[in-house]
Amino acid sequence: MAALTKQNRSKSTSLMPRALAALFIAGFVLMMSSSAFALDGYADRKGVFVGLGVGGGIGAVANEDDGITNGLGDGRKLGLSLHGIIGGGVNKNIVLGLGVNTWIRNVEQGSQDYHHQHWNFLANGNFFLIDGLYIDAGAGLAYASYDATIGPVTQTYNEMGLALRGGLGYEFFLNGTHALGMNVGYTRHFYFDADAAFDTIGATIGIRWY
């Protein structure tokens, strides 16, 4: 009985290196195959993507009568901008999407307070030129929400309009699916009831998941 037990132990002992070698080989093969699958789609902009960004910029309201008004031209102080986009890649050099952007700013001039929120909802295209450098272009709807408090009186203004955007950006892949980027752009909103246009020039830092 003792001899059989000793023999079984020696067999199991001799099988352990083989089992470990087999596991090592299997793990190596799986690792290489998973790496190959990852490299197959590495830094590829094809397919669905989502992106988020935050930044800031200057803004001004322009109309035919007063030029730059409503406190936004004074000192051209920065406002906060937020950005979101979802879309898909036609290929590695062209991505199309639907984006939403907002620009928020509070301005105080003496006893007068101005609060602006300008939104746009754009059909957007990025056209990559060299590596991560791209041209940004978009068109769509605009929305303005504007409050002006002058003494005890607060005036509220809201209007839908149209928006056009153009810009330049650069992004680089942190890994196979995540890209960090920066975008600098100009946006014009057209508001017809107020007979005015709203301009922003700003920069955004963001990340995309491809």
The pTM of the full predicted model, rounded to 2 decimals, is 0.71
- pLDDT in the model for residue 17: 53
Please name the residue ranges forming H helices in the chain. 2-40
Tens of pLDDT, residue by residue over 138-194, are 999 999 887 877 778 887 878 999 999 999 999 999 988 899 999 999 999 998 886
Q: Other CB atoms closer than 10 Å to residue 60's CB: what's the count?
A: 18
Tens of pLDDT, residue by residue over 50-100, are 999 999 988 877 765 555 444 454 555 688 999 999 999 998 899 999 999
Least confident of 26-35, 55-64, 105-114, 134-143: 26-35
Q: Other CB atoms closer than 10 Å to residue 80's CB: what's the count?
A: 14
**Which residues have a Cβ under 8 Å from the Cβ of 139 and sit 6 or more positions away?**
122, 123, 162, 163, 164, 165
- pLDDT in the model for residue 183: 96
Please give the residue that has the higher pLDDT: either 34 or 44.
44
85: nearest Cα among 30, 32, 140, 35: 140
Please give the residue that has the higher pLDDT: either 19 or 200.
200
d(CA 36, CA 40): 6
Please name the residue ranges forming H helices in 72-194. none
Q: How far is CA 58 from CA 61, 75, 106, 124, in A?
A: 11, 9, 12, 22
Q: What angle do CA 87, 160, 189 make, to 5 degrees?
A: 70
